[in-house]
Amino acid sequence: MLDHKPLILVTNDDGVQAPGIVALFAAMQAIGQAVMIAPEQDASASSHSLTMKRPLRVRQLSPEAYAIDGTPTDCVTIGIKKVLPQKPDLVVSGINPGPNLGDDINYSGTVAAAKEGTLLGVPSFAISLVAPNGTVRFEAAARFAAQLATTILTKGLPKDTLFNVNVPDLPVAELRGGRFTRQGRRLYDDAIKETFDPWGNRHYWIGGGTPYLDEGPDTDAQAVLAGAISVTPLHIDLTNHEALARLRSEWPLTS
Ligand code: MN
């Protein structure tokens, strides 16, 4: 248990104006000293990118809120190293108004912000609402975020591990509890639209498409489809340890 009021960095990939971060910020203010440090603009699908070709500006919006003209990763690294008075006790990212299930995790700015917190040694989680873009029903997710944050502040997280949380878009009373899950697969059919510019040149627009959900046992997608909140422990180490052991014994690598 902490001997001080926990300092909580609240960020997202949708920008400081997004209703999801407003709901998350309010939930974190109820349990600690929350400071919002988030991108000026929507930076969804920016993954773990870092802005290195230009300077970044921090704009203070209020005593507890800052906007940075960069990515979620920029916000977490600058937030922790330059803006906050000391290292935070928790980094919370979201609430994203759309799922971050399975393969989505690779592209997600929301999840990357929590990864960056983890890399910097701060317990972190990302939280997303499995709903169409534009949704405003963040109550259940905000409530769960507060509970989870309280537990993490007490118990900590496994080493080099962040939580990726996905909340079904249901009223609190209809949610079927929370489940620890594994990362599934989520592929999109027809996610690149081929169209033409006004001069007849072909161009491509990535987005949309129909997700194919892997409903394998214990996956994030399966929990959400069953009405449960999915909590997936993600590891910073991407090594396939099982393959590593086998490869070392079976593959000769000669120089
Ligand atoms: Mn987003």
pTM attached to this predicted model: 0.94
CA of 18 to the centre of ligand 1 (A): 9
Percent pLDDT > 90 in the chain is 84
State which fold the 7-185+214-250 domain adopts. Stationary-phase Survival Protein Sure Homolog; Chain: A, (3.40.1210)
Nearest-angstrom CA–CA distance, 222 and 220 = 6
65 within 8 A of 93, measured Cβ to Cβ: no
Domain ranges of the chain: 7-185+214-250
Separation of 67 CA from ligand 1 center, angstroms? 16
pLDDT score of 208 more than 90: no
Question: Is 222's pLDDT higher than 60?
Answer: yes
How many angstroms does the Cα of residue 15 sit away from the middle of ligand 1? 8
Q: How far apart are CA 31 and CA 8, in angstroms?
A: 9
Q: What is the mean pLDDT of residues 177-187?
A: 93
pLDDT band at 17 (very low <50, low <70, confident <90, very high): very high
As a whole number of angstroms, the distance between CA 125 and CA 221 comes to 18
- CA 111 / ligand 1 centre spacing (Å): 10
More confident call, 198 vs 209: 198
| Residue 179 CA, ligand 1 centroid: distance in Å | 23
Distance 160 CA to ligand 1 centre (A): 23
Task: Choose the weakest-confidence range: 102-116, 190-204, 235-249.
Answer: 190-204
Distances from the Cα of 9 to the Cαs of 26, 64, 91, 192, in angstroms? 12, 10, 5, 35
**Cα separation, 1 vs 93, whole angstroms:** 22
Nearest CA among 166, 176, 58, 169 for reference residue 114: 166
CA distance 240 to 230: 23
Show Cβ contacts of residue 33 under 8 Å, excluding neighbours closer than 6 positions: 5, 6, 7, 8, 64
What is the C-alpha separation between 92 and 103, in angstroms, rounded?
21
User: How many A from CA of 251 to the centre of ligand 1?
Assistant: 41
Phi and psi torsions of 22, nearest 5°: -65, -45
pLDDT the model gives residue 175 = 94
Q: 252 C-alpha to center of ligand 1: Å? A: 44
Residue 135 has pLDDT above 70, yes or no: no
Q: pLDDT by residue (tens digit) across 57-72?
A: 999 999 999 999 999 9
Q: pLDDT digit string (tens) for 76-107? A: 999 999 999 999 999 999 999 999 999 999 99
Residue 1 has pLDDT above 80, yes or no: no
